[in-house]
Chains A and B, each alone.
Chain A
Amino acid sequence: MAVCIAVIAKENYPLYIRSVPTEDELKFHYMVHTSLDVVDEKVSALGKALVDQRELYLGLLYPTEDHKVYGYVTNSKVKFVMVVDSSNTALRDNEIRSMFRKLHNSYTDVMCNPFYNPGDRIQSRAFDNMVTSMMIQVC
């Protein structure tokens, strides 16, 4: 379903970004980059110190003609951005949430690996496989 999945660190540099290779990947990179501003807006708009699970999921950040961009932020300000193809039957919000949850879990596993230094690019094969499964679902 997702055509592009990106993990952005707190400092807004990408830890992991991967797109369906069929399309121009640079465009997706650009979309993810622009969506960071929207993420910041939403996070600051929440304005509450109390952030529960609901608010980790930011929802639709912005739609374009062909794609929709969804966002999710963790408590450590690591952002997950997902670009999905609008042509697909509109994904239910729950599905997007579950996908983000899976992403978050895989990300947590990557973090738990003692050989992973926070801030490094994510090179975990398990993470890659999970992302691939999410991207292949739709295709």
Chain B
Amino acid sequence: MEGLTLSDAEQKYYSDLFSYCDIESTKKVAANGRVLELFRAAQLPNDVVLQIMELCGATRLGYFGRSQFYIALKLVAVAQSGFPLRVESINTVKDLPLPRFVASKNEQEFRHAASYSSDSENQGSYSGVIPPPPGRGQVKKGSVSHDAVQPRTSAEQQEPTSPVVSPQQSPPASPHTWRKHNRHPSGGNSERPLGGPGPFWSPFGEAQSGSSAGDAVWTGHSPPPPQENWVSFADTPPASTLLAMHPASVQDQTTVRTVASATTANEIRRQSSSYDDPWKITDEQRQYYVNQFKTIQPDLNGFIPGSAAKEFFTKSKLPILELSHIWELSDFDKDGALTLDEFCAAFHLVVARKNGYDLPEKLPESLMPKLIDLEDSADVGDQPGEVGYSGSPAEAPPSKSPSMPSLNQTWPELNQSSEQWETFSERSSSSQTLTQFDSNIAPADPDTAIVHPVPIRMTPSKIHMQEMELKRTVSDHNNPTSPLLVKPPDLSEENKINSSVKFASGNTVDGYSSSDSFTSDPEQIGNNVTRQRSHSGTSPDNTAPPPPPPRPQPSHSRSSSLDMNRTFTVTTGQQQAGVVAHPPAVPPRPQPSQAPGPIVHRPVDADGLITHTSTSPQQIPEQPNFADFSQFEVFAASSVNEEQDDEAEKHPEVLPVEKCSDPASSLRGAKTENKIEEKTAASAPANVSKGTTPLAPPPKPVRRRLKSEDELRPEVDEHTQKTGVLAAVLASQPSIPRSVGKDKKAIQASIRRNKETNTVLARLNSELQQQLKDVLEERISLEVQLEQLRPFSHL
């Protein structure tokens, strides 16, 4: 026997028939009796039947194996089409219609038996091809008319939607899958629906009397519009027209199918009506998804890891390629895990795909995680949608509707069904996820920001917020899903307080992360942002998070002298602004500027990276500080906010130094706070964070000590004073030359001031070098770690 190639429709059809004939459930051999009956039903002359049997090899073998059976069926089709029976004809005859078998009443029972026994087989034989030939639906109708079906259906409601249900049989995989789920909720009825596909399939051929139209119907039904599944429920009449031949049977079928009660049908209708937007998730569906989610992940705000999701969705028997695409669509934040929203979207896509919908290229708006919040309120529009859809089911309800009712049935019966599919409990915005996630990535800053509402984060983040908002507005243009922006209020409205809070905090405090979530939503939004996310979790935050830690720390370390504490508290906000605005490179600047005072902190560095520098500078700064304590207050307030600008200037300049000193002290204060939290954070800020926390207390005594040495003023009250002193010193310098010509005292004073300035600058220089060394050390350590972590040496 030459090889037999079957089309998908044929494959299914033959599988059904084989299952039907396989009364012994051997899955290998079709009972001869059944086969003969089948052939008789084919209305072929006996000699043709004998010839077929001989050709397929059953005569030789004495039994009908699956291959023989298939060949025989193909030959029956050949014969029915009028072609001569030949071995070659099984493959050469193209577009052969499916063999037609006249259904007989006896076969109904056979079907029942076959269906039950062949359920598993059917499912096995169905390779997951979802949209079966539409014509089968019609065939089903014919078969449904058999009384055997009626007992089953008796318990069922005969909704107008039932005709729609019959087409359900067409999608082989989905109905089976769903049927399984249906088992539990439907209890006793569960068996029947499951058996439904089987018997329904087999009746196809048998009910083929006059089913020649069925072929046409089949072809006509082929790609049913996505809404059809849904629509079919609501639109009984159109479907029933198709089934006009056997309206009763149709209803029976539907009743068989729709295990659920009228409520299910109503739900189906609702669901179908909701397909103004085919991708909208109805409440029932959502609830179902949520429940399914819970079975995987009890925490509704948590994630489903990729592996668990893979297992779960693999159960849907969709091809891996499609599941992969669904994952791509639904994993919005590309984190390899599914939040509740993402899971709902993925589940919904799977459901749609199983019903024959084509997967979209991009995630539909209604399925976007952020938008899901809006969906719930949007279900109101379901009813009006029915009308529109009622028209479409005429064509392709078969494939869609069957699965839908089963799905719908399962949804309301989530609790009962032991479905592997899980429901969703709550939505957690992917943005939330991102926000939290990003926070984790950049622990220091975001946490700091969140924990401390103090401007520490605010200022820089505000800047970033503005940027992100700009991006968002741009992205909004690109992405019509403006709900993104609406999302925050939605979040707060819903019970996602957590998410909203986090989101809000993310928005306000951690603009980066929120922007991340925003930008990550639409692919339209620059890939850059998404890329940033993908590059490194903290990449979007690079501008803000990293800088702050370093800055405060250095400044703290440097400015730990006398009045650090006060400076911290006073100028905290300002520090933040300065700190955040400047990348890590900046931190050193404020420190140096504050060198006179802060250097004392150095030794206190918790990390102990470099403390030696602090000693020498300590001496130096004291002098200028002492010298101009009176001027501290004058200059104290001047330079606070200028830190940001100053950072670029490392070298001692009058203005920058003054500015740095004040903001540096404020930075110190901020840094101290940050450091406390950041110390456990990345090592990068380690330098900065060296001694912030401990800096404050220790420096003071040190400074005081140093100060006392200078004798000028034991005012160690405020860091600002120190900075102010420094500023004063520097500020006074310009005036020094003028005073030179006055008298010796003036000259000496000016000389001393110059010396002080020199010392300040020298200290600044030393501090900068210190920082450089620190950074280099860190870099080396990081490189070492990197090398250790690299699994590969070069090729």
Q: Would you call A40 an interface residue if the criterion is a C-beta within 8 Å of the partner chain's C-beta atoms?
A: yes
A44 to B792, CA, bound (A): 12
A27 at the interface (CB under 8 A from B): no
Inside 8 A of A115's CB, which chain B residues have their CB?
Answer: 310, 313, 320, 323-324, 327
A114 touching B794 in the complex, CB below 8 Å, given contacts A105-B531, A123-B321: no
Stretch of B136-144, B279-287, B782-790 contacting A (4+ beta carbons < 8 Å): B782-790
- Min distance, Cβ B313 to any Cβ of chain A, angstroms: 8
Complex CA gap A114/B791 in Å reads 22
Rounded to whole Å, the gap between the CB of B317 and the closest CB of chain A is 13
- A114 and B531 contact, Cβ closer than 8 Å, known pairs A51-B794, A77-B792, A125-B361: no
Determine the chain B residues whose CB is within 8 A of the CB of A47 once the complex forms: 794
Task: Check if B498 is an interface residue, CB within 8 A of chain A.
Answer: no
A26 on the interface (CB 8 Å rule)?
no
Q: Decide if B755 is an interface residue (CB 8 Å cutoff).
A: no
Contact of B306 among A40, A112, A124 (CB under 8 A): A112
Chain A residues whose C-beta falls within 8 Å of the C-beta of B324 in the assembled complex:
113, 115-116, 123-124
B794 & A43 in contact (Cβ 8 Å cutoff): yes
In the assembled complex, B471 has its CB within 8 A of some CB on chain A: no
Query: Chain A contacts of B105 at CB under 8 A?
Result: none
**A139 proximal to B (CB < 8 A):** no
Which of B306, B534, B795 gathers most chain A CB within 10 Å?
B795
How many Å from the CB of B570 to the closest CB on chain A? 41
Q: Is the interface of B mostly helix, strand, loop or mixed?
A: helix
Q: Once bound together, how far apart are the Cα atoms of A113 and B523, in whole Å? A: 17
Partner of B792, one of A75, A113, A114, A123: A75
Q: Tell me the minimal C-beta distance from A122 to chain B in angstroms.
A: 10
CB distance from B353 to the nearest CB of A (A): 13
Q: Is the CB of A49 within 8 A of B531?
A: no
Residues 276-320 of B, flagged 1 when their CB comes within 8 A of A and 0 if not, give: 000000000000000000000000000000110110010000001
Interface string of B516-537 (1 = CB under 8 A from A): 0000000100010011001100
Q: Which residues of A contact B790 (CB under 8 A)?
A: 49-51, 75
CB–CB A113/B321 < 8 A:
no
Contact B534 A108 (CB under 8 A): yes
A residues apposed to B, CB below 8 Å = 40, 43-44, 46-52, 75-77, 101-102, 105, 108-109, 112-116, 123-126, 129
Q: Are B795 and A77 in contact (CB under 8 A)?
A: yes
Tell me, in angstroms, the Cα distance from A47 to B795 when the chains sit together: 9
Residues of chain B lying within 8 A (CB to CB) of residue A48: 794
A27 to B527, CA, bound (A): 32
**Given that A101-B531, A112-B334, A114-B307 are known contacts, is A40 also in contact with B795, CB under 8 Å in the complex?**
yes
Task: Check B793 against A125 for contact (C-beta < 8 Å).
Answer: no
B342 to chain A, nearest CB (A): 12
Residues in B with CB closer than 8 Å to A49 are 787, 790, 793-794
Distance (whole angstroms) from the CB of B289 to the closest CB of chain A: 18
CB distance from B124 to the nearest CB of A (A): 22
Q: How far is the CB of B663 from chain A (nearest CB, A)?
A: 33
Interface residue? B379 (CB, 8 A): no
Please report the C-alpha to C-alpha distance between residue A112 and residue B327 in the assembled complex, in whole angstroms. Answer: 10
Among residues of B, the one whose C-beta sits closest to the C-beta of A101 is B531
B325 touches A124 (CB 8 A): yes
B793 touches A114 (CB 8 A): no
Q: In chain B, what residue has the closest Cβ to A129?
A: B361
Given A77-B795, A124-B325, residue A114 in contact with residue B306 (CB < 8 A): yes
Question: Which of B668-719 touch A at CB < 8 Å?
Answer: none
| B328 close to chain A: CB less than 8 A | yes
The answer to whether the Cβ of B336 comes within 8 Å of any Cβ in the partner chain is yes
Q: Please report the C-alpha to C-alpha distance between residue A114 and residue B324 in the assembled complex, in whole angstroms.
A: 8
- Chain A hits for B787, CB < 8 A: 49-50
Q: Which parts of B744-795 form the interface with A (CB within 8 Å)?
A: 783, 786-787, 790-795
A76 to B792, Cβ gap below 8 A?
A: yes
Alpha-carbon distance A50/B783, docked complex (angstroms): 7
Closest partner residue, chain B, to A74 (CB atom): B792
Q: How far is the CA of A40 from the CA of B331 in the complex (A)?
A: 35
Q: A49-B787, A50-B786, A124-B328 are in contact. Are A112 and B795 (CB under 8 A)?
A: no
Q: Which residue of A lies closest to B319 (CB)?
A: A115
- Select which of A43, A114, A125 is within 8 A of B795 by beta carbon: A43
B 471-516 contacts with A by CB, 8 A: none
Pairs of residues from A and B, 4 with the lowest C-beta to C-beta distance, nearest first:
A114-B306, A115-B324, A114-B310, A112-B336
Q: Which of A44, A47, A124, A125 has the most CB of B within 10 A?
A: A125
- Give the residue name and chain of the A residue nearest to B361 (CB): A125
| A109 in contact with B310 (CB, 8 Å) | no
How far is the CB of A70 from the nearest CB of chain B, in Å? 18
Q: List 7 A-B contacts (CB under 8 A).
A: A40-B795, A75-B791, A77-B792, A102-B527, A112-B335, A113-B328, A115-B323
**B residues within 8 A CB of A125?**
325, 328, 361
Given A112-B306, A123-B324, A102:B795 Cβ within 8 A: no
Distance (whole angstroms) from the CB of B245 to the closest CB of chain A: 42
A109 contacts B795, C-beta separation under 8 Å? no
Tell me the nearest residue of chain B to A53, going by C-beta.
B535
**Among A44, A52, A109, A114, which residue has its beta carbon within 8 angstroms of that of B334?**
A109
Q: Which chain B residues lie closer than 8 Å to A40 at the CB level?
A: 795
Additional A-B contact list (17), CB under 8 Å, known A77-B795, A105-B534, A115-B313: A40-B795, A44-B795, A47-B794, A50-B783, A50-B790, A51-B794, A75-B790, A102-B527, A105-B531, A109-B534, A112-B335, A114-B306, A114-B310, A115-B323, A115-B324, A123-B324, A125-B328
